[in-house]
């Protein structure tokens, strides 16, 4: 009798252990914009499968959850607007009045103001998210693309691809306060969480510039060197910074790799082979996983952040570009 | 105390305003030839402002960047008329412009280059594709944004070989530049393993390019001209003079594709190019010039952007400083071709991918996959360093 009890307890224990090992603590929902298919793929991070494909406007690229997690905004460049997807019904419910050809955008910490890079007319458009109304435009350099906001919300960063600058914009006055020259075709900007550094990727220059946001100066550069690969194939785009600011992940485009960068030494610790032409990435909120969009191979790579290993590949639509995960 | 604090702030403001009010002016000249050449296809007829329209857009792009750096770019255009001395025209332009973008025939370009050498003016050859300007006749004060005939022929050759269309029927026009293009195509065939099964010459007997009853006659002539050829995969035409190539597609005796001067054409740029962010550029060009962008427009745009790139990197409008930077090892420019463009330091030719276009779409971009090189795959297009006869002076 006692032996049987013990056996049963053991069995339960083993079962419980199995369940714990198999299921992540939380399942998250990721939204992926497919530039060519004109769709958004919804991925469940529990089963790692596509649970829904949402039809959107033409050429969806930049994609982000609203701060409250209720909506997903996706820039549909060829329709000159940003569409709003209801996360509950997973259907398009509204549009936002962006300027022509919106590509990437960012929002303030409160989720009240949206800043959109409009590639076609050298402006950044400011949108009131609650009223869904356009508040104004800011003139920037040629082909604005990368957008981010400082952790204190006071500074908006925009990178312009042909001007090769990161523009520092005061969010209250909406005036440019500084311009920092970086390498050719800057595409993405990302602050450290402690606001001590701004990282800017240069696609054609093949580097990531590290900018001192106070002095507005480039204080360092991350360079990439992959044996057997031409320099021209290394084209940094998306950047993901861990919450402790110790590790940065940089997508290297047609080099088909994610570089894992030690932010203290600014050196690459490791290259992770992902799909073809890797563009952008997003962490799960628990930071266990990092998901990357692989444009040419039409899939998403799942990286185990702690192990720094690619553990899974998920097929999505054609030319996946942007990704956002529910907060 | 407050006043004491305000002092330096006021000074800073004043300094910033002075910078904004008094920008450095960087003069760019554009030197071309008056009149346009005639093409067989009406839709390919170049615009009056072919080339300079690209320079104009790049000036705008440079000025958008320049306003953040206190730099202002100006463009002065001159078109040489029949009988006018190119050296005189160039010297007049060089009075106010440290940089000149030229779309000139090879001989005129060389005269201009030699005349301006001591003045320190930097020339950009945006139009001439002649090999000799980068080889025996290369000049240290001429940078080439136009590709060469060999680069264009190699770009096409790589693709045809990749497609396994390796048996070529080569048809050559009777003018000198047609023969030079044929030389480049023969070289490409040898380099990449294609075989020219036969060569034919299409004599230019004169006559109008446009007639009211044109098509009927052409439909009878072209099949006859191309009959009794040995087995071939693709007809490659060398007709820079626009005498016959555009008549060949759909009219060959055998059902074969046409490439070279018609059909699948290698070009530095095309109005259909929309990859690597090019759509924004095409839209900007259309908005400014109310027409689509040609290869010559792009070659001129690239030249003026190279100047802008160097002035912003050096934070200077000094011609010597800018020239040194452009010729130096750290120079690179982005031009919507999916890769950085750099200069071949041995002859100052801009490395660049070449598009293969059919008049409606970009079919492919060379260098093709698998054509490898130890320095840059772009150097599989055209003459490479070890073959070069150029001695920059």
CB pairs under 8 A between A and B: 61
Same-domain pairing of B234 and B209: yes
Closest chain A residue to B65 measured between Cα atoms? A163
User: In which band, very low, low, confident or very high, does the pLDDT at B37 lie, cut at 50, 70 and 90?
Assistant: confident
Given this model, what pLDDT does residue A6 score?
A: 54
Q: Which helix (H) or strand (E) holds B49?
A: none
pLDDT for position A273: 97
Q: What is the pLDDT of residue B374?
A: 86
The model's pLDDT over B283-312, given as tens digits with 9 standing for 90+, comes to 999 999 999 999 999 999 999 999 999 999
Q: Which residues of chain B lie closer than 8 angstroms to A143, CB-CB?
A: 277, 280
d(CA A277, CA A36): 14
Residue B10 falls inside a structural domain: no
**Are B303 and B145 within 8 A, CB to CB?**
yes
Q: Is residue B92 part of a domain?
A: yes
Using beta carbons and an 8 Å cutoff, which residues of B are at the interface with A? 61, 64-65, 68-69, 277, 280, 283-284, 305, 309, 312-313, 332-334, 339-340, 376-378
pLDDT, residue A229, reads 86
CB-CB contact of B340 with A205 (8 Å):
yes
pLDDT, residue B13, reads 41
Q: Judge if B287 and B174 occupy the same domain.
A: no
The answer to whether A206 faces chain B, any CB pair under 8 Å, is yes
pLDDT tens sequence across A107-163: 999 999 999 998 878 899 999 999 989 999 999 999 999 999 999 999 999 999 999
Both B37 and B140 in one domain: the answer is yes
Domain-ending residue, one of B264, B285, B306 = B264
Instruction: Give the three-class secondary structure for A241.
Output: strand
Provide ipTM, 2 decimals.
0.77
Share of chain B above pLDDT 90, in %: 86
| B264, B296, B323 - which closes a domain | B264
pLDDT for the residue numbered B264: 98
Count up the domains in chain B and report the number: 2
Burial class from Cβ neighbours inside 10 Å (0-12, 13-18, 19+) for residue A160 reads: buried
- Report pLDDT for B243: 93
Q: Which residues of A are less than 8 Å from B313 in CB distance?
A: 181
User: How confident is residue A167, by pLDDT bands cut at 50, 70 and 90?
Assistant: very high
Q: Are residues B80 and B34 in contact, defined by beta-carbon separation less than 8 angstroms?
A: yes
Model pLDDT, residue B239 = 97
Residues in A touching B69 (Cβ below 8 Å)? 179, 181
CA distance A229 to A214: 36
Same domain, B138 and B162: no
* pLDDT tens-place string over residues B330-350: 999 999 999 999 999 999 999
- Per residue in A225-261, pLDDT (tens digit) is 998 888 888 999 999 999 999 999 999 999 999 999 9
Cis status of the peptide bond prior to B104, with omega within 30 of 0:
no
Mean pLDDT in residue range A44-67: 96
State whether B160 and B140 are in the same domain: no
Q: Is pLDDT at B3 greater than 70 in this prediction?
A: no
pLDDT for B5 equals 44
Stretch B94-112: mean pLDDT, rounded?
Answer: 97
What's the confidence (pLDDT) of residue B1?
41
Cβ within 8 Å of B, A 150-169: 160-165, 167
CA dist., res. B309 & res. A237, Å (int): 21
Question: Does A230 reach chain B within 8 Å, measured CB to CB?
Answer: yes
Instruction: Check whether residue B65 and residue B179 sit in a common domain.
Output: no
Minimal Cα distance from B282: which residue of A? A120
Residues B186, B85: one domain?
no
Of B68, B280, B305, the CB nearest to A141: B68
Report pTM: 0.85
Asked if residue B389 is part of any domain, the answer here is no
In tens, the pLDDT along B232-243 reads: 999 999 999 999
Q: What whole-number percentage of chain A has pLDDT above 70?
A: 92
Rounded average pLDDT over B134-152: 98
Same domain, yes or no: B96 and B200? no
- What share of chain B in percent tops pLDDT 70? 93
Residues of chain B contacting A230 with CB distance shorter than 8 Å: 376-377
SS3 B127: coil
Residues B202 and B127 in one domain: no
> What confidence category does residue A4 fall into, taking pLDDT thresholds of 50, 70 and 90?
low
pLDDT beyond 50 at B325: yes
Residue B203: which CATH number? 3.40.50.2300
| B362 within domain boundaries | no
**Same domain for B258 and B200:** yes
Last residue of a domain, one of B245, B264, B283: B264
> Which of the two residues, A281 and B2, has the higher pLDDT score?
A281
Assess whether pLDDT exceeds 50 at residue B18: no
Domain presence at residue B364: no
- CB burial class (10 A; 0-12, 13-18, 19+) of residue A128? middle
The mean of the pLDDT values for chain B is 92
> Of all residues in chain A, what percent carry a pLDDT higher than 90?
84
Task: Report, as an integer, the average pLDDT of A165-192.
Answer: 96
In this prediction, residue B2 has a pLDDT band, given cuts at 50, 70 and 90, of very low
Give B-chain residues touching A120 at CB under 8 angstroms: 280, 283-284
Q: What is the pLDDT of residue A8?
A: 53
pLDDT at B54 over 90: yes
Which residue intervals of B81-141 are DSSP H helices?
Answer: 86-94, 106-116
Residue B367 resides in a domain: no
Residue B214 pLDDT exceeds 70 = no
Across the interface, whether the CB atoms of A164 and B64 are under 8 A apart is answered no
Tell me which chain B residues have a C-beta less than 8 angstroms from the C-beta of A256. Answer: none
B130 in a structural domain: yes
Give me the torsion for CA of B35, B36, B40, B41, rounded to 10°.
Answer: -120
For residue A206, the chain B residues in CB contact (below 8 A) are: 340
Q: Domain of B165?
A: 150-264
CB-CB: which of A119, A163, A184 is closest to B65?
A163
- Per the prediction, chain A carries an average pLDDT of 91
The H or E element containing residue A82 is strand A81-86
Give yes or no: residues B208 and B324 share one domain.
no
Q: B316 versus A24: which is more confidently predicted?
A: B316
Concatenated DSSP letters for B268-313?
S--TT--TTTHHHHHHHHHHHHSS---HHHHHHHHHHHHHHHHHHH
Exposed/middle/buried for B2, CB within 10 Å: 0-12, 13-18, 19+?
A: exposed
**Does B373 map to a domain?**
no
Q: For residues B157 and B169, give the distance between their C-alpha atoms in angstroms, rounded to a whole number.
A: 13
Per-residue pLDDT, A120 = 76
pLDDT band at B11 (very low <50, low <70, confident <90, very high): very low
Report d(CA A119, CA A264) in Å as an integer: 34
| Residue B254 and residue B330 in one domain | no
């Amino acid at each position: 009798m006692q032996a049987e009890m013990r056996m049963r307890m053991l069995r339960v224990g083993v079962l419980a252990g199995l369940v714990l090992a198999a299921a992540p603590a939380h399942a998250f929902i990721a939204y992926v914009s497919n530039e060519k298919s004109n769709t958004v793929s919804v991925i469940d991070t529990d089963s790692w499968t596509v649970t829904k494909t949402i039809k959107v406007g033409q050429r969806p690229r930049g994609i982000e959850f609203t701060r409250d997690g209720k909506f997903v905004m996706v820039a549909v460049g060829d329709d000159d607007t940003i569409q709003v997807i209801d996360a509950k019904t997973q259907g398009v419910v509204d549009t936002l009045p962006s300027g022509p050809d919106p590509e990437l955008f960012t929002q303030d910490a409160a989720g009240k103001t949206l800043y959109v890079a409009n590639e076609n007319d050298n402006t950044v458009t400011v949108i009131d998210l609650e009223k869904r109304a356009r508040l104004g435009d800011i003139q920037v350099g040629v082909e604005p693309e990368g957008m981010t906001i400082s952790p204190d919300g006071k500074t908006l960063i925009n990178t312009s691809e042909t001007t090769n600058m990161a523009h520092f914009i005061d969010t209250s006055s909406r005036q440019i306060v500084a311009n920092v020259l970086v390498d050719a075709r800057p595409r993405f900007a990302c602050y450290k969480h402690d606001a001590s550094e701004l990282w800017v990727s240069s696609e054609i220059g093949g580097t990531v510039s590290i900018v001192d946001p106070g002095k507005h100066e480039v204080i360092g550069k991350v360079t990439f060197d992959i044996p057997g690969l031409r320099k021209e194939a290394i084209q940094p785009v998306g950047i993901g910074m861990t919450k402790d600011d110790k590790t940065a992940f940089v997508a290297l485009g047609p080099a088909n790799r994610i570089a894992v960068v030690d932010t203290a030494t600014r050196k690459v610790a490791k290259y992770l082979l992902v799909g073809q032409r890797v563009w952008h990435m997003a962490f799960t909120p628990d930071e266990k996983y990092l998901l990357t969009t692989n444009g040419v191979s039409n899939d998403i790579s799942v990286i185990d952040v702690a192990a720094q290993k690619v553990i899974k590949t998920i097929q999505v639509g054609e030319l996946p570009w942007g990704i956002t995960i529910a907060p | 105390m407050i006043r004491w604090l305000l002092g330096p702030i006021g000074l800073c403001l004043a300094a910033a305003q002075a910078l904004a009010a008094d920008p450095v002016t960087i003069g760019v000249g554009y030197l071309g030839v008056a009149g346009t050449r005639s093409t067989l296809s009406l839709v390919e007829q170049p615009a009056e402002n072919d080339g300079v329209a690209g320079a104009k857009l790049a000036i705008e792009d440079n000025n958008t960047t320049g306003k953040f750096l206190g730099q202002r770019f100006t463009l002065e255009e001159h078109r040489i008329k029949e009988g006018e001395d190119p050296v005189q025209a160039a010297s007049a332009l060089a009075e106010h412009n440290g940089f000149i973008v030229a779309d000139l025939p090879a001989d005129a370009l060389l005269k201009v280059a030699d005349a301006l050498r001591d003045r320190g003016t930097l020339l950009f050859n945006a139009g001439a594709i002649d090999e000799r300007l980068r080889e025996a006749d290369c000049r240290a004060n001429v940078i080439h944004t136009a590709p060469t005939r060999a680069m264009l022929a190699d770009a096409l050759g790589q693709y045809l070989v990749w497609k396994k269309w390796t048996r070529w029927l080569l048809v050559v026009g009777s003018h000198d530049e047609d023969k030079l293009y044929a030389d480049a195509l023969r070289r490409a065939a040898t380099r990449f393993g294609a075989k020219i099964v036969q060569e034919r010459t299409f004599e230019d007997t004169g006559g109008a390019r446009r007639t009211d009853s044109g098509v009927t006659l052409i439909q009878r002539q072209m099949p006859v001209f191309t009959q009794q050829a040995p087995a071939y995969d693709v007809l490659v035409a060398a007709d820079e003079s626009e005498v016959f190539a555009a008549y060949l597609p759909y009219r060959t005796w055998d059902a074969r594709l046409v490439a070279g001067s018609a059909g699948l054409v290698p070009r530095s740029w095309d109005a259909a190019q929309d990859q690597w962010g090019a759509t924004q550029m095409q839209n900007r060009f259309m908005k400014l010039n109310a027409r689509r962008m040609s290869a010559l427009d792009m070659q001129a745009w690239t030249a003026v952007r190279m100047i802008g790139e160097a002035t912003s990197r050096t934070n200077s409008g000094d011609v010597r400083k800018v020239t040194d930077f452009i010729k130096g090892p750290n120079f690179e420019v982005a031009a919507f071709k999916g890769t950085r463009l750099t200069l071949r330091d041995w002859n100052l030719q801009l490395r660049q991918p070449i598009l293969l276009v059919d008049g409606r779409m970009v079919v492919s971009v060379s260098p093709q996959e698998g054509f490898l090189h130890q320095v840059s795959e772009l150097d599989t297009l055209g003459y490479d360093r070890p073959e070069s006869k150029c001695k920059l002076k």
